[in-house]
Amino acid sequence: MARTLSDRVPVFLDRDSPLKPDLVLVLTYLAVTAIGLLMVYSATAPGLEARGIDPTRELKTQAIFVVIGFIVFGVVSSIDLTEIKGLVGPIYAVSIFLLLLVLTPLGDSEGQAQRWVDLGLVQFQPSEVAKIAVVLMLASILAAATVPLSWRVVARSIAFVGLPAVLIFRQPDLGTMLVFGFVLIVMLFVSGATLRQLGFLAIASIVLTVGLFQLNLIKQYQIDRLTGFIDPDAHSLSLSYNQTQSEIAIGSGGLLGKGLFEGSQTNLQFVPVQSSDFIFTAVGEQFGFVGSVIVLGLFGVMLFRLLMIARVARSRFSFLTVSGIAAMLGFHVFVNVGMTIRVMPVTGLPLPFMSSGGTVFVAMSAALGLAHAAWIRRNMTIAD
């Protein structure tokens, strides 16, 4: 069927199209993003103002990424996942290439980790792309496999996750590695892996972790972050400082919060990297328990919708892709929020759609777009 350019308009904007958008998913996406922008502004404005800089600077930067992210979400939503399936190989290859690029002199370091690629105009985090690439690659492998899964398929899945994981480990980025692991387990589980296979995977990952420690391949600061989480007093000001301040911010928010722009922890910059990794503290302090639960609720609804979409997906590939995306988003939310309230160690995973940062927002929007695309075309009966 030949296509004209007009076919490419986002389907949900086309009133005549039979392909209706998932309003609940889109609305929660918009709501979380809007709250995120507000929080980024409240967390950055006092600091910028104090330095005599335009207090809306960070907000404006983030808003540009949000616009780009919306466009990407719209475009990806209108894609037919069947078309994507053929591109999985190249996407995976490109993301591996980008990950390799990080380790070259082109890679840019921030703190103790090297996670960025400097492309002149924009800096860019290839690991975010790799998350989507891994989901798609696993979906493609597992969609082609027969149920019950053979050990061979499991091995292949591990291999395809393992390659980018090793590259990311070299950066190093423990958080993203954990995302890969969780996505792998969830996708193997929903695609019908046996309990024995999952058990093997669990044992293997334990062996791997112990091995990494034994070979001193894990850096001291990563160990400290993990132990700092368990025993905050031992690392008073230095290591668990972020987490301590983050806890104070959220805890002191109380039931209803201190009110927008009224948070002392936020206004006086007590929480480091608040606008990115610790954006949830701005919610907790300013809007309290009620606000926090509303934000968690929005994510809950979003995840619920994703699981619903997965259930009604028209193909096994779509089903697996959406499951993988749900796993990825869910893991981010749980680990990120958990980190701010000392339920999880500090791993540097952002809160989707809320943390400031361009690559993250655009990549997460693209991922959500993929799931949305699966919803829009759920009724088209095209054989895989």
CB 350 within 8 A of CB 276: yes
Nearer to another protein, 299 or 353 (CB): 299
Instruction: Compute the least distance from the CB of residue 1 to another protein, in Å.
Output: 30
The burial class, CB within 10 Å (0-12 / 13-18 / 19+), for 141 is buried
Q: How many CA atoms lie within 13 A of 348 on its CB side?
A: 17
Nearer to another protein, 260 or 341 (CB): 341
Strand partners of residue 123: 118
CB 183 within 8 A of CB 168: no
96 Cβ partners below 8 Å, 6+ apart?
130, 133, 163, 164, 167
Instruction: Compute the least distance from the CB of residue 265 to another protein, in Å.
Output: 6
Instruction: Compute the least distance from the CB of residue 85 to another protein, in Å.
Output: 18
Nearer to another protein, 101 or 296 (CB): 296
Instruction: Compute the least distance from the CB of residue 341 to another protein, in Å.
Output: 5
Nearer to another protein, 29 or 124 (CB): 29
Ordered DSSP codes for 76-114: HHTS-HHHHHHHHHHHHHHHHHHHHHHHSTTEEEETTEE
Nearer to another protein, 132 or 313 (CB): 313
- The gap from C-alpha 215 to its chain's centroid, in whole angstroms, comes to 29
Instruction: Compute the least distance from the CB of residue 2 to another protein, in Å.
Output: 35
Q: At 138, list the tokens.
A: 């696993």
Nearer to another protein, 10 or 330 (CB): 330
218 Cβ partners below 8 Å, 6+ apart?
174, 212
Nearer to another protein, 6 or 381 (CB): 381
Give me the residues that bind another protein (CB under 8 A), please: 50, 186, 189-190, 192, 245, 247-255, 264-265, 268-272, 284, 288-289, 292-293, 296, 299-300, 303-304, 307, 310-311, 319, 323, 326-327, 330, 334, 337-338, 341, 343
CA distance 59 to 273: 15
Instruction: Compute the least distance from the CB of residue 55 to another protein, in Å.
Output: 15
Element housing 279 (H / E): helix 279-312
Instruction: Compute the least distance from the CB of residue 70 to another protein, in Å.
Output: 25
